[in-house]
A and B are shown apart, each in its own frame.
Chain A
Amino acid sequence: MTAAPEPAAGGTLPAGGAMRVMGAETEYGIHAPSAPSANATMMSARVVQAYAQVTRQRAAGGAETRWDYTDEEPLHDARGWTVDRSSAHPSQLTDQPPVLDAEAVALAYGREELELDGQDESGTLLMNMVLGNGARLYVDHAHPEYSSPEVTNPRDAVKWDAAGDLVALAAVRRLAADPDLPPVNLYKNNTDNKSVSYGSHENYLMPRSVPFGDIVRGLTPFFVSRQIMCGSGRVGIGQDSSTPGFQISQRADFFEAEVGLETTIRRPIINTRDEPHATADKYRRLHVIIGDANLSQVSNYLKFGTTAMVLSLIEAGLAPKVEVFEPVAALQRVSHDTTLTAKLRLLDGRRVTALDLQWMYHEAAAKLAQDTGVGDKVDGDGHTHDVLERWAAVLTQLDNDRAAAASSVEWLAKLSLLDGYRERDGLEWNDARLGLVDLQWADIRPEKGLYYRFLARNRMQRILEDADIAAGVSEPPADTRAFFRGRCISSFGKDVVGASWDSVIFDVPGYGRLQRVPTREPLRGTKALTGALFERYREAGPFLAELLGHNAPPAA
């Protein structure tokens, strides 16, 4: 490795505030209006395939830890799974990978098309890509999913999550331009309003030393209430929307348990899945499944920023001592109460609103940030101060100026549009046009997506310039191992046969065996540590020779 010029490189992040290794996963709703009965997994694979065509990047199969590749593994086996197989969700190692073989393609689209397709001699569709920005694009169940690269702060979380929407958009455009395929729409939402929900998950790295019970106690009241800032809004009450109305959250009605392992049934407020994708004795990857997918940059920013700060509180043992009575019911009660006046019962007898709960967390987080110094406007970590300011501003607006809050809080922005229709056209909540507004809010095409119409009219605040987000489509974050992964793909893509969150696998001419580079430390493999190495080499062979020959791998 080259010498690290920055103290943080390969080390740790400032503790006590909003900085933390984190990432976003978005499952997109998928719909082909001209082919409504098309197989959803098939269409999702088309999306991945289309993006592969856009980038021409050779997809690297998502190597999961169960395929524990070592340098002794023969070449052919590796090619067999990286090319022919899709993989399960990165955290669902026990799942059977969905496989779309030639037969399934033929059934869905006809034999001629299969032959036209021809990208893979095996006839198998690409289900899994690792992107040059360090992200993963793949088919998860019946949805295309974009998993962002690891970032260290909420601003970057918004950037690389929004970059995923551009990745998805590029695939949609590609499919729309293909006269032989039905156009596909993608929606950044979480329910079809017919009883099905699909997730947008957050991941946060935590020290394993923090007791899980502390996480559950500290996070539950926060998750019950954070939706008032981060909810995307939903037309319809109940999992199947059978009760007309509007609620704050897309996801709340689909949660049925307080703590649990499942993500598709009996969804829990706190998910216990523990797949660190990193050095397991040091880290836990907290997998958060309760959030709504956000198009609003401010809602998304606060979702990641405030949650990261609450985790800092939990690590410091300073989370507010509150326990909500029956949290699942409370979660739904908050979601169904757009007046924000519903009182929740705490176990100690107090009755508080969701706003009250958020202020308790804000107060505790502000104090910790002050005590640790990370919240200082000038000398802090560069993120925590801004998160605290925006958090307070939004809570204040939610309390006394909802029109102002509607420029940042997604459910209020959507509600303002729905109310406009209700007033102008006298529509009831069960009117299909309101359902369409709800759905089309999340269409990722700027000309069709109603969020993007709001953004174009400056009715929604930005955290990032459009150019920043566009840069995130191809550039990896500089300050995590995603830099190494992404640059390996973009610089040496033809020689990379596999990659995962914690490894990159090379097949380089001259090496008799596969070269697996582990990346188990999320804060190594950064630009500071490996950028010069990428600059020095145009070929993977000499690059690997220096990386593996003269230095230890990023982290063994």
Chain B
Amino acid sequence: MAGQEQQQPQSRDSQVEEDIPEAPPAPPEAQASASTEGVDDLLDEIDGVLESNAEEFVRAFVQKGGQ
């Protein structure tokens, strides 16, 4: 069932690791309140998750009609 399926090793892990995009330069003023620190940390994580080559990926997402 789906629950078991979720726990199976993700066969695409290796690809996920390769997908890390070039890290954008850190902003010079890194004066962090707790909340901005949280946002920076969040963005760092998301950087590592985003598909590489944003432009091509977004362009290729073409759907056929729906309701």
Contacts and interface: CB of A to CB of B under 8 A. Distances in A.
Given A176-B10, A457-B42, A33 B66 contact: no
A277 interface: no
Interface in B1-23: 1-3, 5-6, 8, 10-12, 16
A294 B60 CA distance: 23
A197 B57 contact: no
A465 interface: no
Interface residues of A, number: 58
Contacts of A27: 66-67
B2 A170 contact: yes
Contacts of A437: 46, 50
Interface of A is mostly: mixed
A424 B58 contact: no
Contact of A264 (B12, B58, B67): B67
B54 interface: yes
Interface range on chain B (Cβ under 8 Å from partner): 20 to 34
Contacts of B65: 141-142, 196, 198, 264
Given A40-B64, A173-B6, A417 B58 contact: no
A521 to B, nearest CB: 27
Interface in A137-178: 140-143, 166-167, 169-170, 173-174, 176-177
Nearest to B15: A183
A383 interface: no
A433 B61 contact: no
B46 to A, nearest CB: 6
A305 to B, nearest CB: 23
Interface stretch (A204-212, A445-453, A542-550): A445-453
25 contacts: A30-B63, A33-B57, A141-B66, A142-B64, A142-B65, A166-B6, A173-B8, A176-B11, A177-B8, A193-B58, A197-B66, A198-B65, A199-B66, A264-B67, A420-B42, A424-B43, A432-B59, A440-B49, A448-B16, A448-B49, A448-B51, A450-B46, A450-B49, A453-B42, A453-B45
Interface of B: 1-3, 5-6, 8, 10-12, 16, 24, 27, 39-40, 42-43, 45-46, 49-51, 54-55, 57-67
- 6 tightest Cβ-Cβ pairs between the two chains A and B: A198-B66, A142-B64, A170-B2, A432-B55, A199-B67, A436-B54
